[in-house]
């Protein structure tokens, strides 16, 4: 039985008057991949943004209920959000490397978090992060080139390397492959398989096939509610809820 890394209880999120999440109770297991699926606007991205307090940057956003990581209340106002985000990395739909060199893209995070004080320590972090994100062999001879000079798939792996450079515990991925071709997607999926040995991963995806391939647990959201959550195999072969079945089989009206 896996340990629960993140636990949400009765989680509600409001954007002004509009409620975006309703009473979400969801456990994310440690060193497992959890896929969140559901139509656009169903609340899956809102949910993962609760995990690293990204919703804080939206003034009108209000989060109530409980969300914990290793028993620590993520919503605690006294919590150091920078420290939280060091533990919870994030990768977005569109690769967004900094307009800096490949090397600096990776070393920036450790530097601001006070890791890697010497050049050789930073070199080691950069190499390790790029190796873990399966990019090292492709870029080791051009670390000084801009991150933006890489292909889309490489840029996304660079962003993953950047996320893991500060040694996080959780990686949130918001549709990380939707802008990538099938080969680049396959490389990211292969990477996710490898990364889950070390990190707890939450991935939002619109690709059912991807959810089946990469995740062990799947949650289906609809109109801000978590409709069903369970083992991925069960959800895609024999879901309990009719709404889940209608969505994954393409019967959604």
Query: Is residue 239 involved in binding other proteins (CB under 8 A)?
Result: yes
Does the protein bind other proteins through residue 238 (CB under 8 A)? yes
Task: Please report whether residue 61 would count as binding other proteins according to CB under 8 A.
Answer: no
Q: Cα 246 to the chain's mean position, in Å?
A: 26
Is residue 252 at the binding interface for other proteins, with CB under 8 A as the rule? yes
Contacts of 186 (CB under 8 A, 6+ apart): none
Binding of other proteins by 246 (CB under 8 A)? yes
Q: What are phi and psi of 107, to 5 degrees?
A: -80, -15
Shortest distance in whole angstroms from residue 100 CB to other proteins: 40
Chain residues 156-215 in contact with other proteins, contact rule CB under 8 A: 208-209, 212
Nearer to other proteins (CB atom), residue 140 or residue 242: 242
Phi, psi for 159 (deg, rounded to 5): -65, -35
Closest CB to other proteins among residues 163, 227: 227
Q: Measured from the CB atom, is 99 or 250 closer to other proteins?
A: 250
Note the maximum CA span of the chain: 58
3-state secondary structure 82-140: HHHHHHEEEECCCCCCCCCEHHHHHHHHHHHCCCCCCHHHHHHHHHHHHHHCCCHHHHC
The answer to whether 40 contacts other proteins (rule: CB under 8 A) is no
For other proteins (CB under 8 A), the number of binding residues is 18
């Amino acid at each position: 039985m896996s340990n629960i890394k993140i636990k949400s209880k009765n989680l509600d999120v409001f954007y002004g008057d509009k409620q975006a999440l309703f009473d979400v109770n969801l456990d994310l297991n440690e060193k497992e991949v959890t896929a969140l699926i559901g139509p656009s606007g169903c609340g899956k991205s809102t949910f993962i943004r609760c995990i690293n307090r990204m919703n804080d940057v939206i003034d009108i956003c209000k989060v109530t209920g409980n969300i914990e990581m290793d028993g620590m209340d993520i919503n605690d106002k006294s919590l150091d959000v920078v420290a939280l985000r060091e533990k919870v990395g994030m990768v977005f739909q569109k690769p967004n490397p900094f307009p800096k060199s490949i090397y600096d893209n990776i070393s920036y995070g450790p530097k601001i978090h006070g890791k890697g004080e010497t050049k050789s320590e930073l070199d080691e972090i950069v190499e390790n992060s790029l190796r873990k994100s399966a990019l090292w062999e492709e870029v080791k001879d051009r670390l000084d080139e801009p991150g933006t000079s890489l292909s889309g798939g490489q840029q996304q792996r660079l962003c993953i390397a950047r996320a893991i450079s500060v040694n996080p515990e959780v990686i949130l991925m918001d549709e990380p492959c939707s802008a990538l071709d099938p080969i680049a997607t396959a490389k990211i999926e292969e990477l996710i398989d490898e990364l889950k040995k070390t990190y707890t991963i939450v991935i939002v995806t619109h690709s059912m096939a991807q959810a089946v391939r990469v995740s062990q647990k799947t949650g289906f959201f609809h109109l801000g509610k978590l409709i069903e959550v369970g083992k991925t195999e069960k959800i895609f072969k024999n879901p309990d809820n009719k709404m889940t079945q209608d969505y994954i089989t393409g019967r959604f009206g």
